[in-house]
């Protein structure tokens, strides 16, 4: 699975600017190139970061071509996070726990996978939104790749309880079973959520991006708690409007996107970029 190591730069050939991409389908909407361009500007790192549209079912072939041509790293989004994990020669513990990767890096002859979504969410909640996860009661709605990727970092912070609820309850049960040893986590069907007072309700379903209503009972949305939709921009509006109407604080997932990008940038470049200013500028403030 490996690729030839890059030839070391010589005095007469200045080292080329390292190339990064975000791979997905669709990908035209991705904000990642703009985010990484701002990080590069603010840290003085010279790199290029572009979108790479890959046909469904052809991830490995296109990723191989990119890395064989000297590509330094890739972020990976829908629907390829599992393919990215399987493509890599080695994976971090957090990618292995999620069974999905949003990050690939060429390290010598190997391609290494990681998953920065979970730490991105945790940083947005803790640093940008001032939420303490320790002791919190968390409702995690959804059981796809995004939900799976955030469970371990949430449980690491010792919440009182995580209820993972999903339309297809068997997928929620799989997650609860998989992470059981790491903390207090139980599964529920979307229409049978236990009557808890949740401090944080995370929408990790694709309902928002599909423009579909989320069949979540109102009693799960209680005044004073935070509702967080991992989708961002106008896609998140219906869920956030519903939460605000119930007296909740509400946030979309733009901060998570910026924070996972910052973690990726750090893993590739060894430099931690500023995130608050980038998030503020993306929000137009
Ligand atoms: P997946 O396709 O892996 O999972 C989709 C999940 O949504 C499943 O649990 C599915 O339930 C559920 N779902 C889909 N439609 C509905 C519906 N109408 N009602 C109830 N449940 C529904 O997607 P991901 O996990 O990769 O992504 C989920 C969301 O998170 C997306 O909006 C994505 O954009 C966002 N995301 C944001 C990130 C960020 O940085 N802000 C990072 C990663 C993801 P079922 O199992 O029953 O089909």
Residues of the chain under the 70 pLDDT cut = 1-15, 285
The per-residue pLDDT for 284 is 87
Cα–Cα distance for residue pair 82/86, rounded to 1 Å: 6
The model's pTM is 0.92
The Å distance, Cα 127 to ligand 1 centre, comes to 24
Is the CB of 208 within 6 Å of ligand 1? yes
Q: What are the strands, taking DSSP E only, across the chain?
A: 18-24, 47-53, 73-76, 90-91, 103-107, 110-114, 137-141, 161-166, 185-189, 200-203, 226-229, 249-251
Secondary-structure class of domain 2-115+256-282 per CATH? alpha beta
The superfamily in CATH containing domain 118-252 is NAD(P)-binding Rossmann-like Domain (3.40.50.720)
DSSP assignment, residue 230? Answer: S
What integer pLDDT is reported at residue 152 of this predicted model? 92
**Residue 97 Cα to ligand 1 middle (Å):** 18
Is residue 101 lining ligand 1, measured as CB closer than 6 Å?
no
In tens, the pLDDT along 188-246 reads: 999 999 999 999 999 999 999 999 999 999 999 999 999 999 999 999 999 999 999 99
> Could you state, in order of their start, the residue ranges of all structural domains in the chain?
2-115+256-282, 118-252
Tell me the C-alpha distance between 4 and 158, whole Å.
Answer: 43
User: Are the beta carbons of 227 and 252 closer than 8 angstroms?
Assistant: no
What is the model's pLDDT at position 14? 52
Q: Is 24 in the pocket of ligand 1 (CB under 6 A)?
A: no
Asked if residue 173 lies in contact with residue 186, where contact means CB atoms within 8 angstroms, the answer is: no
Query: Active-site residue numbers?
Result: 81
Look at ligand 1, atom 44, and give the residue with the nearest C-alpha: 146
Ligand 1 in contact with 153 (CB < 6 A)? no
pLDDT number for residue 16: 77
Answer whether 2-115+256-282 and 118-252 agree in fold.
yes
pLDDT at 4: 34
Strand pairing of 110-114 and 18-24? Answer: unpaired
């Amino acid at each position: 699975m490996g690729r030839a190591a890059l030839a070391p730069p010589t005095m007469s050939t200045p080292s080329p600017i390292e190339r990064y991409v975000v791979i997905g389908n669709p990908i035209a909407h991705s904000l990642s190139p703009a985010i990484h361009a701002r990080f590069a500007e603010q840290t003085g790192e010279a790199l290029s970061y572009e979108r790479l549209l890959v046909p469904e079912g052809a991830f490995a072939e296109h990723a191989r071509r990119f890395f064989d041509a000297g590509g330094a790293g890739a972020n990976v989004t829908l629907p390829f996070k599992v393919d990215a994990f399987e493509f890599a020669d080695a994976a971090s513990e957090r990618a292995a726990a999620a069974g999905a990767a949003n990050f690939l890096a060429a390290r010598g002859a190997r391609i290494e996978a990681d998953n920065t979504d979970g730490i991105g969410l945790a940083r947005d909640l803790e640093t940008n939104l001032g939420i303490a996860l320790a002791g919190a009661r968390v409702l995690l709605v959804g059981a796809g790749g995004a939900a799976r990727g955030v469970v371990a970092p949430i449980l690491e912070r010792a919440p009182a309880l995580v209820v993972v609820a999903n339309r297809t309850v068997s997928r929620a049960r799989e997650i609860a079973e998989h992470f059981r040893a790491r903390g207090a986590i139980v599964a529920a069907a979307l229409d049978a959520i236990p009557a808890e007072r949740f401090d944080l309700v995370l929408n990790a379903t694709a309902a928002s991006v599909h423009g579909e209503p989320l069949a979540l009972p109102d009693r799960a949305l209680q005044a004073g708690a935070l509702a967080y939709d991992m989708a961002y921009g106008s896609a998140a509006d219906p869920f956030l409007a519903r939460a605000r109407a119930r007296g909740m604080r509400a946030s979309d997932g733009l901060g998570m996107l910026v924070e996972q990008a910052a973690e990726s940038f750090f893993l590739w470049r060894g430099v931690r970029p500023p995130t608050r200013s980038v998030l503020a500028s993306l929000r137009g403030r």
